[in-house]
Structure 1
Amino acid sequence: MLNLIFKDILIQKKTFLYSVLYALFAVVGITNSFTSRGAYIFGSIGIAYLFVMYSNTYDDKNGCEITLNSLPVSRKDIVLAKYMSVLVFIFIGIIMTVFAGMLVKMLLPQIPLQNMVINDIFMIFACIILMYSIYYPMYFKFGAIKVRMLNMVLYLIFLFGPINLIALADKNTGNSMLNKLLLIITNNPDFYFYAFAAALLLGLMLISLNISIYVYSRKDL
């Protein structure tokens, strides 16, 4: 299974280059337009999306599915490797965006860029896990090309949703129930909130994983 994850990384030479440019754009552009915290989320989610999209499209176009199924690799491991690759791509996205932020701070100190905080990291993981928990059962049923539009729609929803939430929370001056909820989610979630949300995300991901395994194990190639 590790070899499958490495395969998904090693085919990404061009994606690494695009991701560097994307991270710099996110840090500079989103900080000026929305909020610096949103820039890290925008960059990390976008980079993870680029890596997953290229990996899955590459497999679909080059017939990797047929090749992998001719090898002594179980379909369960193929599915599990895709889900694990998503987590790896999240880490790559976060690291690249943080380094882009450090570079911008050195070269363009006039840009009011904050540091990434644990809330941002948690939101990045939450958005990507939710996104691909919905996407992957459909991907393993129909293939990357047929569900490309679904991937794009999910990407836009989970990309701009968090940024707008943070922008609303940062501009909050009232005491309405909505504003209080936004502040809890984006600024000060306590241990119990994190634990509950993490358990919910893990449960959703496991349900999605088992659905994908069930679908793919019965798929005719």
Structure 2
Amino acid sequence: MKQLVIKDMRLLKIINLVILCGGILFGYIGVSIDHIYKSKLVYGFAMFIMVYIVSMFSTQYDVKGKTDMMLNSFPVDRYDIVKSKYISMGLYILFITGVVFLSSNISRIIFSTTISGNPATIWDVSFIIGLSLVFFSIYLPFHYYNVGKAQAFNQIFYIILIILPNVISKFSKKIENTEIFQGIINMDWKIVILMFVSIGAIMYLISLQISKNIYKGKEF
């Protein structure tokens, strides 16, 4: 199991470096923005886009390297193969959110005389963890059912991620002045986020069982 997780990490070694550098950069950019909602948007988008990048490149490397065929030629339990993927993706979620969180908070301390923005909070990180768990809960069963469908899912999601920031930027001032937005802001977000993370974790565990059953009956 441990070796399978390490295998996933090694396949993405260049991406690991990109995530590290990107996380540090976006952590600094977010805390340098003196607008609480815009800075949170930067943190959230940066963390989630990096989670998406991991899913995209992980699938591409598995396809190019014919990983499934190779692993199934060895005496490895199929359940362990699936579990290792879920563990490695979970570790990537923690790594990505952790880098951005630390970068923003450390940058706020080091550059306290020149920047006065808001560093990422544990609640910002928790929200993205919950969102990422939901994303992978949907994505990974596609990955094991049909790689082509997983890649199609990635392409559709990529279009959404490209369009969304432009839409938010264009209508941000109008959105901020609406009663709905003010109502959302005044919600008890700590409870909402805790519930969201719990739902994400439950979905992730259910998704693991679904992927196990899909992979068990797959032929190579």
Q: TM-score, normalised by structure 2?
A: 0.78
Question: Aligned in 2, Cα 1:49/1:116: closer, same or farther, shift over 3 Å?
Answer: same
Alignment-mate amino acid for residue 56 of structure 1: T
Alignment-mate amino acid for residue 73 of structure 1: V
| Contact in 2 for aligned 1:20/1:100 (Cα 8 Å) | no
Deviation at 1:141, TM superposition (A): 1.1
Distance (Å, rounded) in 1 between the aligned partners of 2:21 and 2:4: 27
Tell which deviates more after alignment, 208-217 or 25-34. 25-34
Aligned: 1:130 with 2:134: yes
Question: Aligned in 2, Cα 1:119/1:183: closer, same or farther, shift over 3 Å?
Answer: farther
Q: TM-score, normalised by structure 1?
A: 0.77
Which position in structure 1 is the counterpart of 2:7?
A: 7
| Contact in 2 for aligned 1:128/1:158 (Cα 8 Å) | no
Deviation at 1:219, TM superposition (A): 1.2
| Contact in 2 for aligned 1:27/1:104 (Cα 8 Å) | yes
| Contact in 2 for aligned 1:48/1:92 (Cα 8 Å) | no
User: Number of residues paired by the alignment?
Assistant: 212
Aligned with 1:150: secondary structure? Answer: helix
Aligned with 1:5: secondary structure? Answer: helix
Which position in structure 1 is the counterpart of 2:121?
A: 117
Distance (Å, rounded) in 2 between the aligned partners of 1:147 and 1:54: 12
Distance (Å, rounded) in 1 between the aligned partners of 2:150 and 2:117: 36
Residue deviations 1:88-145 (CA, integer Å, cap 9, x gap): 00111122223443565446964443121122112111211111111111111111x5
- In angstroms, what is the RMSD of aligned CA positions? 3.3
Which position in structure 2 is the counterpart of 1:210?
A: 209
Q: Which stretches in structure 1 are left out of the alignment for 5+ residues?
A: none
